[in-house]
Structure 1
Amino acid sequence: MSPHILHVFDHSVPLHSGYTFRSANILRGQRRLGWQVSALTGPKQGRSTRAEESVDDLAFFRTPLPSGLVARLPAINQWAVIRATERRLLEVARRLRPDLLHAHSPVLNASAALRVGRRLGIPVVYEIRAFWEDAAVDHGTQRAWGPRYRLTRSMETRAVNAASQVVTICEGLRGDLIARGIPEAKIGVVPNAVDADQFSFGGAADPALKDALGLGGARVIGFLGSFYAYEGLDLLIAALPRILDHAPDVKLLLVGGGPQEAALKAQAQAMQLAERVIFVGRVPHAEVSRYYDIVDLLAYPRHAMRLTDLVTPLKPLEAMAQGRLLIASDVGGHRELITDGATGVLFRAEDIGDLARKAVATLDLPDQGAALRANARRYVEQERTWARSVDNYKTIYGRALNATL
């Protein structure tokens, strides 16, 4: 059977995020399997002048922004998002007649897809990339285990129970659902991955770029990504004086931006580290590899919390694909990706002393940690390619459709 899958995403390319890159790779990977694949984005894609839009080789149906008083009221406006997505999805599904609806986080998409699926008699697969309520706690829009948190968690559990099959991106999320009483056989895992062919192993640093950034002659510890609180970049800055005590030639390079950017700059200034912490801002996607190439050690110091214990990030995989040395906090999401001492180095989460010690020791490894870097690249090539990950949908969709794919 060659199924027709209609995906429902929160947002997509041309917006750049780990979410959109995963979505694009899923669509391309399923097409390579010979499946017919369509995609719709909800209102959070933003205002669009076209009902249908092509981005590179991918086509998307767009959903108009909801209007009226309900769309402007805090909290209640999320119901407007569900209703707008439901109306657009019903229209598209009637036109395309897909075999399966595949809704991706957040639960708003699942709620809309389940309503359309029941109306049209189409099975629904729900893919959870993170628990929306835990992300909201980190962003400061919900209080852990407060009323809104519990409501969102309840919506998530109801959606999981109602879906034909459920997908998670890692074992941490799967384990949490099993603890809620969801049958193990109902939950498949399609882990994050990378296209290893798009990443060159150990690219050479560009001396001109290093000099332009004031990094000439320095060993560079770096982070490339979004500056969210859970990423723990405040811990990395706090650990820098201890690192400098043993490695005075080190500078810290932070590439990207986000909600914590101003606070991180203020922290570096207050600690009199402004000349040691280089903020580059966001760079074009095509230029990212140049910045990776000037980093000697990538750092992922995520804070310990439910979000980081349950969810695996994508950025360490990109670093491993390039054969980069990396250190990371030992939160659950990192432990699922990184084997300490084999493909990377883990330090005790929240412990800036251990972070500093591990950073210095890793920078000082003989042969620049050649064995670690080679192991990391091999792990990605053998275990974490998109072709291997996307292949897992065969079993998951087969169960939902009661068919062999």
Structure 2
Amino acid sequence: MRISGLRIALFSGNYNMTVDGANRALNRLVEYLQRQGATVRVYSPTSDDPAFEPQGTLVSLPSIAIPTRAEYRFPLGLNARVRGDLEAFDPHIVHLSSPDLSARAAARWAQSHGIPILASVHTRFETYFRYYGIGFLEKPCEDWIRGLYRRCDALVTPSAGMVEVLREQGMNDDISLWERGVDRNIFSPDRRSLEWRRSLGIADEEVAIGFLGRLVMEKGLDAFADAIDQLAKRKIAHRVLVIGDGPARGWFAERLPDAVFAGFQGGTNLGRAVASLDVLFNPSVTETFGNVTLEAMACGVPVLAARATGSSSLVDDGVTGLMVEPGDAAGFADALARYIADPELRRAHGAAGEERSRAYSWDAINQAVADTYLRLIAARKGSAAPLA
């Protein structure tokens, strides 16, 4: 079997309701698959006010709003309408991208129909509980997720570090890489704009330390703020530039009263904002890859990151950026102080990161997922048909 003619049922918890790394990756995958002649039906909660137009044919899942997080909805399984749609579509493979109730129901449906299942792992959901004062739920959540992933024929995840985490957790025996690409038409050192910085009140000589991403606690906002507090106590001159928005904006603004909040940026405006940073500070430990890290690297911006599954596969410590143990506020502050004091170090690490980022082509990366689909379908049929 070839990609052309392939019918893929993709289940997502949030396909185009917010702009985040996982959603952008899934939509790019669907666009690539359809360009190769595949048909993709996407089953996801939907919104009256989606963040962007989706790729593929979107089928609405039954869902409820998540309290305090209005931008998300929680899928509730498969009702008769969705099951009928699945039966009529008759997919060759089922792709699960979020370990929720609908994904579990879809896995049961696929198993009962002899259809192979691939799950893509985009974030470490089990770690979220520690940021909301209910860390005791982390282990039960991990066990619950394992129950789903063990039903799957294979998993794909964006980083080698995350492959090892999933293996250590006993999630599955067949785990491979689906990395992330970067759009070099958007992210480039040429996008840097001192004029845009000046419009925000940031002087040319000031070192802009950037936070990039959704403003939610699980992105490590507390660790970021603690490190900036350390710089202030040491009287080290700097500016903080926050790119993004989210429900924790108020909390973050209160913790960082002198920061500049540029809000949500998209397309070429996002590329301009990222390239206009002097350092990207990414303290998060929840990502499986770290799209924001790759985007900063493509813009020639050095990265300070937590030594965690996402960033550790991208940042070469001391070459393309600096790595610090998660939550080490003093260590993060030391690393930021090095960058602030040494513009040549920033330039060298930024240039090395930009060169490294050139290896990440979206089409080649998405072909790896298509190859995995074909491998699983051939294995289920007991065929040794070559991949195409």
TM-score by length of structure 2 reads: 0.83
Could you tell me which residue of structure 1 aligns to residue 217 of structure 2?
Answer: 229
Does residue 6 of structure 2 align to residue 17 of structure 1? no
Q: CA deviation at 1:317?
A: 0.7
Counterparts in 2 of 1:46 and 1:240: CA distance versus 1, 3 Å: same
Q: How does 1:191-202 map to 2 (within 5 A)?
A: 191-202=179-190
Q: CA deviation at 1:347?
A: 2.6
What's the secondary structure of 2:150's corresponding residue?
helix
Gaps of 5+ in 2: 68-73, 379-384
Could you tell me which residue of structure 1 aligns to residue 342 of structure 2?
Answer: 365
**Distance in 1 between residues matched to 2:338 and 2:122, nearest whole Å:** 34
Does residue 158 of structure 2 align to residue 166 of structure 1? no
Percent identity among equivalent residues?
20
Q: How does 1:256-271 map to 2 (within 5 A)?
A: 256-268=244-256
Could you tell me which residue of structure 2 aligns to residue 319 of structure 1?
Answer: 296
**Distance in 2 between residues matched to 1:243 and 1:152, nearest whole Å:** 36
**Distance in 1 between residues matched to 2:61 and 2:234, nearest whole Å:** 56
The one of 318, 322, 345 equivalent to 1:341 is 318
Counterparts in 2 of 1:91 and 1:176: CA distance versus 1, 3 Å: same
Task: Write the deviation string for residues 365-393 of structure 1: whole angstroms up to 9, x where unpaired.
Answer: 354633322221222212x3222321222
Could you tell me which residue of structure 1 aligns to residue 382 of structure 2?
Answer: none
Q: How does 1:127-206 map to 2 (within 5 A)?
A: 127-139=120-132, 143-146=134-137, 149-181=138-170, 184=173, 186-206=174-194
Could you tell me which residue of structure 2 aligns to residue 121 of structure 1?
Answer: 114
CA contact (8 A) 2:217 2:248 kept: yes
What's the secondary structure of 1:101's corresponding residue?
strand
CA RMSD across the alignment = 3.2
Task: Write the deviation string for residues 316-357 of structure 1: whole angstroms up to 9, x where unpaired.
Answer: 011111111221122333212211111111233322222222
**Distance in 2 between residues matched to 1:366 and 1:15, nearest whole Å:** 36
Select the structure that is richer in helix. 1
What's the secondary structure of 1:342's corresponding residue?
coil
Which residue identity does 1:116 align to in structure 2? W
Q: CA deviation at 1:264?
A: 2.1
Which residue identity does 1:404 align to in structure 2? P
Q: CA deviation at 1:119?
A: 3.8
**Distance in 2 between residues matched to 1:38 and 1:162, nearest whole Å:** 22
**Distance in 2 between residues matched to 1:6 and 1:179, nearest whole Å:** 29
Counterparts in 2 of 1:88 and 1:38: CA distance versus 1, 3 Å: farther
Does residue 213 of structure 2 align to residue 215 of structure 1? no
The one of 282, 290, 301 equivalent to 2:264 is 282
CA contact (8 A) 1:86 1:112 kept: no
Could you tell me which residue of structure 1 aligns to residue 98 of structure 2?
Answer: 105
Which residue identity does 2:269 align to in structure 1? E
Task: Write the deviation string for residues 200-252 of structure 1: whole angstroms up to 9, x where unpaired.
Answer: 23433242x32332212422111121122233333333333553577754211
**Distance in 2 between residues matched to 1:87 and 1:139, nearest whole Å:** 35
Which residue identity does 2:298 align to in structure 1? A
Counterparts in 2 of 1:196 and 1:109: CA distance versus 1, 3 Å: farther
Counterparts in 2 of 1:87 and 1:199: CA distance versus 1, 3 Å: farther
**Distance in 2 between residues matched to 1:238 and 1:98, nearest whole Å:** 49
**Distance in 1 between residues matched to 2:199 and 2:207, nearest whole Å:** 15
Could you tell me which residue of structure 2 aligns to residue 55 of structure 1?
Answer: 53
Which residue identity does 1:144 align to in structure 2? G
The one of 41, 54, 71 equivalent to 2:43 is 41
Counterparts in 2 of 1:344 and 1:156: CA distance versus 1, 3 Å: same
**Distance in 2 between residues matched to 1:145 and 1:23, nearest whole Å:** 31
TM-score by length of structure 1 reads: 0.80
Counterparts in 2 of 1:401 and 1:292: CA distance versus 1, 3 Å: same
Could you tell me which residue of structure 2 aligns to residue 8 of structure 1?
Answer: 11
Task: Write the deviation string for residues 26-72 of structure 1: whole angstroms up to 9, x where unpaired.
Answer: 1123334x2413132322x33589xxxx927x233231545xxxx69
Task: Write the deviation string for residues 271-322 of structure 1: whole angstroms up to 9, x where unpaired.
Answer: xxx3x322233344452223223311111123x6xx46xx332110111111
What's the secondary structure of 1:341's corresponding residue?
coil
Which residue identity does 1:39 align to in structure 2? R
Which residue identity does 2:263 align to in structure 1? G
Could you tell me which residue of structure 2 aligns to residue 391 of structure 1?
Answer: 367
Aligned length: 373
**Distance in 1 between residues matched to 2:66 and 2:98, nearest whole Å:** 22
**Distance in 1 between residues matched to 2:228 and 2:333, nearest whole Å:** 7
**Distance in 2 between residues matched to 1:234 and 1:241, nearest whole Å:** 10
Counterparts in 2 of 1:351 and 1:202: CA distance versus 1, 3 Å: farther
Could you tell me which residue of structure 2 aligns to residue 77 of structure 1?
Answer: none
